[in-house]
């Protein structure tokens, strides 16, 4: 199986999924193809994803930009000397201050190599990332999807993706984690592409709701 997807095969893979699933096909027909969301494989990107944990994307971006104003380029070496007060002034919570420091220390010490992750399988990447305090499965999923473009990831901890799935498939809101996993199995080996279609649906539906309100 292909290990990554990119602009050369993204629409083709979406079409393959659409041919197998009428609800995903309906998303493309109504809203077009989703963007191929992508971020560089950098320390800054992982900091950004940590900041996005359990807050709005706008709040996370605001904190990231405030940190950029403070340090210029966001690097492990630039983060470690900052005090708690300096990071708090960049809108970092106490918890996320600790998480970003743990990440910076892991990279500086050689415990984690982002370049090395590019050649590893999903399971090993997840193991390496989640060994660092503050990085859980959701963060690892987003890294695999946005940065490495691995094709078969469904982020069970992502409310937007899960809620969009429940809506298009008319799954009860009380569905268990196991039931959600079973539903996504049919999209193998392209669950990442299905996730992007679900995010696209979620965002476009929100736009429509705002227009009508």
Same domain, yes or no: 111 and 203: no
Query: Which pLDDT belongs to residue 29?
Result: 97
Same structural domain for residues 14 and 72? no
Does pLDDT of 2 surpass 70?
A: no
pLDDT of residue 55: 87
For 142, the domain range is 43-147
199 and 109 in a common domain = no
Q: Is residue 4 one of the residues assigned to a domain?
A: no
On whether both 125 and 179 belong to a single domain, the answer is no
Can you give the pLDDT at residue 3? 81
**Residues recorded for the chain:** 213
pLDDT of residue 1 exceeding 70: no
CA-to-CA distance for 177 and 183, rounded, in angstroms?
10
% of the chain at pLDDT higher than 70: 98
3-state helix/strand/coil string of the chain = CCCCCCCCCHHHHHHHHHHHCHHHHHHHHHHCCCCCCCCCCCHHHHHHHHHCCCCCHHHHHHHHHHHHHHHCCCCHHHHCCCCHHHHHHCCCCHHHHHHHHHHHHHHHHCCCCHHHHCCCCHHHHHHHHHCCCCCCHHHHHHHHHHHCCCCCCCCCCCHHHHHHHHHHHCCCCCCCHHHHHHHHHHHCCCHHHHHHHHHHHHHHHHHHHHHHC
Q: How far apart are CA 20 and CA 15, in angstroms?
A: 9
CA–CA dist 110, 96 (Å, integer): 21
165 domain-assigned: yes
- Amino acid 129: pLDDT: 97
| pLDDT category of residue 173 using cuts at 50, 70 and 90 | confident
Q: Could you tell me if residue 192 is inside a domain?
A: yes
Using CA atoms, how far apart are residues 123 and 141, in angstroms rounded to an integer? 11
Listed range (2-6, 8-12, 89-93, 184-188) with the worst mean pLDDT: 2-6
Q: Rounded to 5 degrees, what are φ and ψ at 109?
A: -80, -15
Q: Are residues 116 and 192 in the same domain?
A: no
Please report, for the domain that includes residue 29, its CATH number: 1.10.1670.40
**How far is the C-alpha of 155 from the C-alpha of 138, rounded, in Å?**
6
- Mean pLDDT on 134-151: 96
- Per-residue pLDDT tens digits for 24-58: 999 999 999 999 999 999 999 999 999 999 888 89
pLDDT tens digits, one per residue of 119-142:
999 999 999 999 999 999 999 999
Dihedral, CA atoms, 64, 66, 69, 73, nearest 10 degrees? -20
Mean pLDDT value across residues 182-187: 94
Question: Taking 60 as the threshold, does the pLDDT of residue 146 lie above it?
Answer: yes
Residues 6-14, mean pLDDT to the nearest whole number: 95
Q: How confident is the model at residue 108 (pLDDT cuts 50, 70, 90)?
A: very high
How many domains does the chain fold into?
Answer: 2
């Amino acid at each position: 199986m292909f290990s990554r997807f990119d602009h050369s095969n993204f629409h083709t893979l979406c079409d393959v999924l659409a041919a197998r699933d009428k609800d995903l096909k309906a998303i493309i027909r109504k809203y077009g193809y989703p963007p191929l969301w992508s971020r560089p494989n950098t320390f800054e990107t992982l900091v950004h994803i940590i900041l996005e944990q359990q807050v709005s994307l706008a709040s996370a971006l605001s904190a990231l930009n405030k940190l950029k104003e403070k340090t210029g380029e966001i690097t492990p070496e630039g983060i470690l000397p900052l005090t708690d007060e300096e990071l708090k002034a960049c809108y970092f919570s106490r918890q996320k201050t600790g998480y970003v420091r743990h990440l910076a220390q892991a990279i500086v010490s050689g415990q984690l190599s982002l370049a090395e992750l590019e050649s590893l399988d999903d399971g090993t990447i997840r193991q390496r990332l989640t060994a660092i305090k503050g990085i859980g499965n959701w963060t690892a999923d987003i890294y695999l999807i946005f940065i490495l473009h691995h094709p078969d990831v469904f982020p069970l901890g992502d409310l937007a993706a899960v809620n969009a799935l429940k809506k298009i498939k008319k799954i009860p809101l009380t569905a268990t984690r196991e039931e959600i996993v079973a539903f996504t199995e049919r999209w193998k080996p392209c669950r990442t592409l299905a996730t992007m279609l679900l995010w696209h649906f979620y965002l476009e539906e929100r736009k429509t709701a705002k227009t009508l309100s």
